[in-house]
Structure 1
Amino acid sequence: MFQPPYRAAVIGRTGRGDYGHDLDRAIAEDPRLSLVALADEDEAGRLAAADRLGVDVGSTYADFREMLAKEKPEFVAVAPRWLDCHREMVVACAGACVRGIFLEKPMAPSPADCDAMLDSCHAAHAKLAIAFQTRVSPIFDRVKTLLSEDAIGPVLELRGRGKEDRRGGGEDLMVLGSHIMDLSRAVLGDASWCFARVTEGGEPIGRGSVRDGAEGIGPLAGDRVDAMYGFEDSPAVAHFATTRPSEPGGRFDLRIFGERGVIVMGTGWMPEAYLLHDPRWLDAPGGEGWERITSAGVGQSEPLPAGGLLDGNRRILADLISAVEEDRAPIVSGEDGRASIEMILATYASQRSGGPVALPLEDRGHPLAG
């Protein structure tokens, strides 16, 4: 009978995505799991991880496929941050009858990769959860409650920006933009179209602009992205932008504009969030007109510790285990991960077509490939 403690394993890749944002620690610490094995192609990294996580050296593997076949884990953290390995690792986990897979974001380089991962999970009845920590934040829960209570009136538009550091542009879009895309969908539902402009040095990108992205991202282009999205079930639109500035802007957040006010929130497990009751949207965040939003409510002291990404990953993993036990979708599912990738790549598809493109994307390949 399927019951805890469940057999669990970790797949890492030292020097090529490592163990993500503590996905390995989350799976090692969950009381419903028993961490029995880990895989890492790098010997030194593998031994260090075994020591850190308390895994017997005899249960460590250079080949994750060998580990899956011999150890037969029921839950696996596919932890590397790099994207180029996600498809093969997730498909292998599903093929080995893993029940729950916890995957670092972003999901994969292309919609086709995401499709293959989800098809394999559906065929094996495996649940796939993505490490979007803000989606499970108690502060984001409070923001959603405020929106449902009409605290700022009907939502008119969303505005999000990437981190805009040295990665500003295409890399920022893929790595950090995935969080903003996911939050936009959590507020407005499924995106139905995208209209975007992607430029390099002020000029529209062309084939000569395409380069291989760092960290297994796949093809990318542009040092500036300006995108607008429409949604199936809302008249509101969402905007996302990123540029490579001379100085980092510190604008990595989502701003929700309503008829009677604004909500601004950052990202992460316990992000800063503020509410402004002003239809003019004038006061700067943190100014006199703004009220702090905490997990306890507007203007209330925060009763919870600050925490970090590990706390968010613990919450996602706990929900994944419950999702397997209850045979339901995780809060942050593989379908959510795929939708964020499609919103990201729709920017390139729109730039190439010279107009809006429909979502989901008809062409499942990467718009910059070929």
Structure 2
Amino acid sequence: MKRRHLLASLPALLAAPAVSAAEKKLRVAVIGHTGRGNYGHGLDTMWQRIPSVEIAAVADADEKGLAGAVKKLGLKTGFADYKAMLSETRPDIVAIGPRHIDQHRDMLLAAIQAGAKGIYIEKPFCRSPQEADEIIAAADKAGTKIAVAHRNRYHPAVPHITQHMKDGVIGRVLEMRGRGKEDTRGGSLDLWVLGSHIFNIATFFAGPPVACTATVLQDGKPITKTDDKEGDEGIGALAGNEVHARFEMTNQTPLFFDSIQNAGDKEAGFGLQIIGTKGIIDFRIDKEPFAQVCLGSPFNPFAKEPRVWQPITTGGIGKPEPIADLGKQLASHETAGRDLIAAIAENRAPLCDAASARETIEMVCSIFESHRLGSQRVPFPLQTRVNPLTLL
């Protein structure tokens, strides 16, 4: 079954009843690392909202952090070594929370080797296409389902937006434009940490990337080897406080991504716009409502009718959202967790699986690869599978 068809069933998934007394709960083991990415954005507590699972164990290499996690999750004890936890408890699902992605590969492979049926992991997925290739090969061999915490990919309004676009609500789609938060992290770090959200949702509407052309700057000048440094959050080689990229997408709609350090606006940054001849659909990442539409040509300053932004919900354009507490369910990762559980039961891919996450990582790395080659057009899949900045 295709992901777009699966998305249409999300409202029913959100309203799924509690597990019956006769059903065996799935056991979840949580991996965190206080001081090195912690537990992500609530990847430990999300399971407390899902009746069909029970939290069986937690691991944290930080002693004080482990004590706090044990108390918060209502456990009797915890593990300092996540490998020991996996070996001893053999959980059905492993939640990998740390935001520092230099730990992701090893944690994922350990969970797969321990026989986990499913893994839910904080984004970004990993540090390079090469790591993604290795993880996916291991997961495919073991039959492990991997879901990645790009929460917006699980939003039940997405299939409705797709249908509105097919119905021509914004006319012919001309282009897509995304920006990061453009705060102090603006540029390459913003690209990695927040631009990944933009790419992950953009590919749903435009299909996989075909090619990328990009430039990366440091204080207005093209980056060189001397600008390279160890990036925050375990990213590895990183350089540049300004990024400009253009992607050719499968459906022939160009996608632009830009991020400039300290150029952002808290009220207007971090989002994606799909621009058509008759209007614009705007996505605010991790906000509710997730999407809004402004009808009317975006290129006509003389329009007689005022342009009004209207929310797009599962109820329709300009209609209130009929799913109670939808924002909370998405923000807490409950929606994604329920989808992973359903994916295990139905033997299908999660809505945001490892393949789509690898696609996102390739898009990030393609920007650096294009810059490294003098802003050449770089086709997908990337031939360079390591972080291109290590080759400057």
- What TM-score range do you get, normalising by the shorter chain? over 0.9
Partner Cα separation in structure 1 for residue 138 and residue 194 of structure 2 = 27
Q: Answer whether contact 1:262 1:281 (CA < 8 A) is retained.
A: no
Query: 1:89 corresponds to which letter in structure 2?
Result: M
Partner Cα separation in structure 2 for residue 315 and residue 360 of structure 1 = 30
- Give 3-state SS (helix, strand or coil) of 1:56's partner: coil
1:71 alignment counterpart: 89
Q: Deviations over 1:279-301 (max 9, x none)?
A: 23458xxx743323233211112
> TM-score, with normalisation over the residues of structure 2?
0.88
Q: Answer whether contact 1:269 1:308 (CA < 8 A) is retained.
A: no
Q: Answer whether contact 2:286 2:331 (CA < 8 A) is retained.
A: no
Counterpart of 2:318 (choices 299, 302, 311) is: 299
Q: Answer whether contact 1:76 1:101 (CA < 8 A) is retained.
A: yes
Classify 1:282/1:25 alpha carbon distance in 2 versus 1 (closer, same or farther; 3 Å): farther
Identity percentage of aligned residues: 36
1:151 alignment counterpart: 169
Q: Deviations over 1:144-188 (max 9, x none)?
A: 231232211232110000000100001000000000010110110
1:330 alignment counterpart: 350
1:86 alignment counterpart: 104
Partner Cα separation in structure 2 for residue 8 and residue 133 of structure 1 = 19
Question: Is residue 245 of structure 1 aligned with residue 275 of structure 2?
Answer: no
Q: Answer whether contact 2:280 2:298 (CA < 8 A) is retained.
A: no
2:334 alignment counterpart: 314
State the 1:272 CA deviation: 4.4
Partner Cα separation in structure 2 for residue 211 and residue 248 of structure 1 = 27
Q: Answer whether contact 1:194 1:347 (CA < 8 A) is retained.
A: yes
State the 1:73 CA deviation: 0.3
Structure 1: segments with no counterpart, 5+ residues: none
Classify 1:323/1:202 alpha carbon distance in 2 versus 1 (closer, same or farther; 3 Å): same
Query: 1:337 corresponds to which letter in structure 2?
Result: A
Query: 1:174 corresponds to which letter in structure 2?
Result: W
> TM-score, with normalisation over the residues of structure 1?
0.93
Partner Cα separation in structure 1 for residue 337 and residue 243 of structure 2 = 33
Counterpart of 1:165 (choices 168, 183, 195) is: 183
Q: Answer whether contact 1:268 1:309 (CA < 8 A) is retained.
A: no
Q: Answer whether contact 2:340 2:350 (CA < 8 A) is retained.
A: yes
Counterpart of 1:362 (choices 383, 386, 390) is: 383
- Give 3-state SS (helix, strand or coil) of 2:351's partner: coil
Report the more deviating stretch, 137-146 or 19-28: 137-146
Partner Cα separation in structure 1 for residue 308 and residue 300 of structure 2 = 9
Task: Map 1:8-23 to 2 at 5 A.
Answer: 8-23=28-43
Question: Is residue 53 of structure 1 aligned with residue 70 of structure 2?
Answer: no
Q: Answer whether contact 1:137 1:312 (CA < 8 A) is retained.
A: no
Classify 1:251/1:148 alpha carbon distance in 2 versus 1 (closer, same or farther; 3 Å): same
Partner Cα separation in structure 1 for residue 279 and residue 227 of structure 2 = 40
Question: Is residue 142 of structure 1 aligned with residue 160 of structure 2?
Answer: yes
Classify 1:75/1:163 alpha carbon distance in 2 versus 1 (closer, same or farther; 3 Å): same
Counterpart of 1:289 (choices 308, 318, 334) is: 308
State the 1:268 CA deviation: 1.2
Counterpart of 1:186 (choices 204, 225, 241) is: 204
- Give 3-state SS (helix, strand or coil) of 1:180's partner: helix
Classify 1:281/1:316 alpha carbon distance in 2 versus 1 (closer, same or farther; 3 Å): farther
Partner Cα separation in structure 2 for residue 131 and residue 269 of structure 1 = 15
State the 1:306 CA deviation: 6.1
Partner Cα separation in structure 2 for residue 96 and residue 269 of structure 1 = 36
1:38 alignment counterpart: 58
Partner Cα separation in structure 1 for residue 143 and residue 177 of structure 2 = 37
Partner Cα separation in structure 1 for residue 100 and residue 131 of structure 2 = 14
Q: Answer whether contact 1:133 1:269 (CA < 8 A) is retained.
A: no
Query: 1:137 corresponds to which letter in structure 2?
Result: H
1:216 alignment counterpart: 234
Partner Cα separation in structure 2 for residue 271 and residue 132 of structure 1 = 16
- Give 3-state SS (helix, strand or coil) of 1:339's partner: helix
Query: 1:357 corresponds to which letter in structure 2?
Result: V
Partner Cα separation in structure 1 for residue 64 and residue 36 of structure 2 = 13
Q: Answer whether contact 2:244 2:258 (CA < 8 A) is retained.
A: yes
Partner Cα separation in structure 1 for residue 279 and residue 26 of structure 2 = 47
Classify 1:175/1:95 alpha carbon distance in 2 versus 1 (closer, same or farther; 3 Å): same
Matched pairs, number: 362
Q: Answer whether contact 1:253 1:267 (CA < 8 A) is retained.
A: yes
Query: 2:367 corresponds to which letter in structure 1?
Result: T
- Give 3-state SS (helix, strand or coil) of 1:138's partner: coil
2:7 alignment counterpart: none
Q: Answer whether contact 1:78 1:89 (CA < 8 A) is retained.
A: yes
